[in-house]
Amino acid sequence: MRSIAFFNNKGGVGKTSLVYHLAWMYAELGLSVVATDLDPQANLTSMFLNEDRLEQLWPDGQHSQTIFGAVQPLLEGTGDISAPHVEDISANLGLLVGDLALSASEDELNSQWPDCLDRKPRAFRVLSAFWRLIERAAASRNADLVLVDVGPNLGAINRASLIAAEHVVIPVAPDVYSLQGLKNLGPTLRRWRTEWSERQARNPVEGLSVPLGRMEPAGYVVMQHAVRLDRPVKAYDRWMTRIPRVYREAVLAISTTDSPHAVAEDPHCLAALKHYRSLMPLAQEAHKPMFFLRAAEGAIGGHAQAVLDCYHDFRSLAQSIAQHIQFP
Ligand SMILES: Nc1ncnc2c1ncn2[C@@H]1O[C@H](COP(=O)(O)OP(=O)(O)O)[C@@H](O)[C@H]1O
Ligand SMILES: [Mg+2]
């Protein structure tokens, strides 16, 4: 099983939409996939499921079928994680269901982090909880690939989610916020990696599966939908041409004077995705990926061609990521 987290501490760049569409695309390409919603906003879950199903999964005060429900006994000190429910989305696509209550785990994940250095067993159970859920969910579905969606911050939930990921794909928008985001994100990922490796070696619990914390940057995806149309083209170009250098310096920690000026020439650029305009709301309405929209769902006229183009865009992105992480 391989795991990829999609991360940028700037919100609204398109993480959730990417995870959603890539999960469907990898399943379409024949892999068994588990999508994991570790963002307490649970947007990924609401993209996959309609309101009737969400009401069943999120009854008042109960969390038996969500990620939070599975870690709740551990957080409350009444036991360890319980077997996670994996929601069937299609034959080879499952979802670890998100939950707004997950934000309640932030404090505990935060306070247990230093305790790992003191070899405290509970600290390792708590910090490995998301990883162990992912591992169990993947085993139950015989998954080849786990895609993880997280919220837009550098907090303790994300630290625990990211150390559970072997690879990290970074969606970026060509603007000042997104590039500033990279400057915080890169050093933070490296710090988490170092700090977890110091901790991991002190795990005293025999037989407890703890993550490796590799978090290897797999590359970035330029999300052009996030470009403000009222800005002059020059501003857009300026940020676009800075992405390759900022990615190298901030994320890969290599200082370079000869990085490419165009993302199209940058081997670390996995894709530049366009603004899919009205396909996105149609897809959200239908709870389907944009590339599976049919005429009955509004994909008529010019939309029909856009749906085909979208299919090819996501198929090549899926293949490009697979190549970068050396996934056969
Ligand atoms: N390629 C795209 N084309 C058009 N709209 C998009 C695209 N990617 C994302 N969006 C829209 O942008 C908004 C933010 O995307 P989202 O995936 O929720 O970002 P994040 O998870 O980073 O906060 C959503 O309204 C989404 O529908
Ligand atoms: Mg999101």
Instruction: Provide CB contacts within 8 A for 124, sequence distance 6+.
Output: 116, 199, 203, 204, 205, 208, 210
pLDDT band for 52, please (50, 70, 90 cuts). very high
Residue keyed to tokens 């900022």: 246
Between residues 235 and 185, which one has the greater pLDDT? 185
pLDDT at residue 230 greater than cutoff 70: no
The interaxial angle of helices 302-324 and 279-286, nearest 10 deg, is 80
- For residue 16 and ligand 1, the question of a CB distance below 6 A is answered with yes
User: In the chain, how many H helices and how many E strands?
Assistant: 12, 8
Work out the average pLDDT over 316-323. 98
pLDDT above 80: residue 312? yes
Give residue 238's pLDDT. Answer: 87
Q: What is the CA radius of gyration of the chain?
A: 20
Q: Which residue has the tokens 């790992």?
A: 116
Q: How far is the CA of 116 from the centre of ligand 2 (A)?
A: 29
Give how far Cα 92 sits from Cα of 27, 127, 199, 265, 285, Å: 6, 29, 35, 34, 22
**Ligand 1 atom having least distance to the Cα of 274:** 1
> What are the structure tokens assigned to 231, written together?
């800005």
Task: Quote the domain boundaries for residue 154.
Answer: 2-324
Which atom of ligand 1 is nearest the CA belonging to 13? Answer: 22
The structure tokens listed for 83 are 């077997």
Stated pTM of the model: 0.97
| Ranges 6-15, 49-58, 66-75, 254-263: which has the least confidence | 254-263
Out of 225, 276, 303, mutate this one to test ligand 1's pocket (max ligand atoms within 8 Å of CB): namely 225
How many other CB atoms are found less than 10 A from the CB of residue 132?
21
Residue 53: how many other CB atoms lie within 10 Å: 15
Amino acid occupying residue 80: D
- Per DSSP, the residues of 71-90 read HHHHHTTSSSPPPPPEEEEE
Place of tokens 């996959």: 48
Count of domains in the chain?
Answer: 1
| Closest-lying ligand 1 atom to the alpha carbon of residue 8 | 22
Ligand 1 atom 15, closest CA? 14
Residue 151, domain CATH: 3.40.50.300
Q: Which tens digits make up the pLDDT trace of 166-215? A: 999 999 999 888 899 999 999 999 999 999 999 999 999 999 999 999 99
Mean pLDDT of the chain: 95
Q: Which of 64-73, 230-239, 248-257, 273-282 has the lowest mean pLDDT?
A: 230-239
Residue 227 has pLDDT above 70, yes or no: no
Q: Are 160 and 213 in contact (CB under 8 A)?
A: no
Looking from the CA of residue 39, the nearest atom of ligand 1 is: 21
Q: For position 294, what pLDDT does the model report?
A: 97
The answer to whether the CB of 14 is under 6 A from ligand 1 is: yes
CB of 26 closer than 6 angstroms to any ligand 1 atom: no
Mention every residue, 6+ apart, whose C-beta is less than 8 A from residue 250: 182, 183, 185, 186, 187
Q: What is the pLDDT of residue 261?
A: 82
Would you state the pLDDT for residue 316? 98
Predicted local confidence at residue 258, as pLDDT: 83
pLDDT of residue 292: 98
pLDDT band at residue 226, thresholds of 50, 70 and 90?
A: low
Average pLDDT on 232-246 reads 86
Protein residue with its CA nearest to atom 19 in ligand 1:
14
